[in-house]
A = this chain, B = another copy of it.
Amino acid sequence: MNPRLRLKSHIGVGDCMFAYSTVIRRHQFLINTLRGYNCCLNQLRKMTAEGSKREGFCIQEPDAESLLRRITPVMESSNHKGQAGNIAVIGGCREYTGAPYFAAISSLKIGADLSHVFCTKDAAPVIKSYSPELIVHPVLEESYNIKDTEETLIYNRVIDDVKGWILKFDCLVIGPGLGRDPFLLNCVSGIMKLARLANLPMIVDGDGLFHITNNIDLVSGYPLAVLTPNIIEYRRLVEKCLNCEVDSSIGPQQLLNLARFIGGVTIIQKGKSDFISNSEKVYMVTNSGSPRRCGGQGDILSGSVAVFSAWARQKNLVLADEDNSLPSPMVLGSIAGSLLVRKAASLAFEKKKRATLTTNIIECLGESLENICPAL
């Protein structure tokens, strides 16, 4: 046998075995998680119905519609541009352009006045062309486009560019379509430090979650951060922070522990139901969404949570809350965002069925919001 062929064949088998075992392990993990999830949900519903407390924490299924109505601002003709929210998405690189668009346009469709995207130079013309409604800043750079000797210079320029804008924003969304380029992620660390200095809320999703999982200090102890992990991103966070496997039999307790470990950030654990915690309580949003799992729905959620969190902060409901029963603004924003995206996904699925795409869900945001909270 030709030795080159033998070598190829050997590599092929190796690859296959590796691929096979990875797929099997991933499937097994998902099956276990979902099995556990269903048991867990039933158990949780029981606990909620009884209003019981266990192990020092409380699980609540809040009246999400009522909370959404409380934080959504009244529309008045005397309002001025920017008052209903100015959101910025940090994301969009050579590879990904849809995700930052989905997040940014969702925030506008819910009612923010202005929506910006800070992305790489290559991504900007494409994201701009999706919609004239977005303000797209081509300020980020990826390693392939710069020389080693230029890194410090370009890093400083990126930070200066963003610094000039950051005080205008009410919330940042970090991560949709960010990619994993090391230089770009380093710049994102700098932007996140700026945001913390400015006391600016941050919703961290997608590759932003990959980045903070490896650099947890970026959000640790920052109560204005919201993390929105899907099942895979959540597993990585748990493994890295709690140094153990995801255990769905103690799902909410583990979520609470994770939020505590990261120092009181809000986490939306996305799934069949969404579980939300900022280390004080666990809330669940269970209204039905859509069985369609087309890519991009997480981006709608991050853009939506950004707007609702900004509104909740503006309203200062917690300060005026005599019973001290209201969750923090970031949790309120998370509950409202989760509810609305589920409603919109459900409505879009009714209309489009298997052909439902993320843009269809975005088109249903307005109608869904109007159904819950009429504008006038």
Show the binding face of A for B, using Cβ within 8 Å: 12, 15-16, 18-19, 22-23, 30, 34, 37-38, 75-84, 94-98, 101-102, 108-114, 122, 125-126, 128-138, 167, 197-199, 230-231, 272, 288-297, 349, 352-359, 365-367, 369-370, 374-376
Contacts and interface: CB of A to CB of B under 8 A. Distances in A.
A128 to B, nearest CB: 5
A269 to B, nearest CB: 13
A77 B346 CA distance: 11
A293 B81 contact: yes
Given A98-B135, A294-B133, A296-B132, A370 B358 contact: no
Nearest to A33: B80
Interface centre among A83, A114, A197, A297 (most CB of B within 10 A): A197
B376 A352 contact: no
Given A129-B130, A167-B19, A355-B365, A80 B135 contact: no
A110 B355 contact: yes
Contact of A12 (B38, B78, B83, B197): B197
Contacts of A358: 132-133
Nearest to A99: B132
**Copies of this protein in the complex:** 2
Contacts of A197: 12, 15-16, 19
A134 B230 contact: no
9 A-B pairs with least C-beta separation: A355-B366, A98-B132, A75-B291, A353-B375, A111-B354, A81-B293, A129-B129, A126-B128, A109-B355
Nearest to A290: B77
A352 B333 CA distance: 22
Given A19-B167, A126-B129, A78 B37 contact: yes
Contacts of A137: 95
7 contacts: A30-B83, A76-B291, A77-B272, A77-B290, A78-B272, A81-B293, A97-B128
A354 B75 contact: yes
Contacts of A293: 79-84, 113
Contact of A295 (B38, B109, B135, B374): B135
Contacts of A134: 98
Contact of A369 (B12, B80, B108, B354): B354
Interface centre among A22, A111, A288, A353 (most CB of B within 10 A): A353
A137 to B, nearest CB: 6
Contacts of A97: 128, 132, 136
Contacts of A16: 197-199
Nearest to A125: B126
A109 B357 contact: yes
A134 B296 CA distance: 10
A30 B80 contact: yes
A359 B291 contact: no
A138 B128 CA distance: 17
Nearest to A86: B295
A293 B111 CA distance: 9
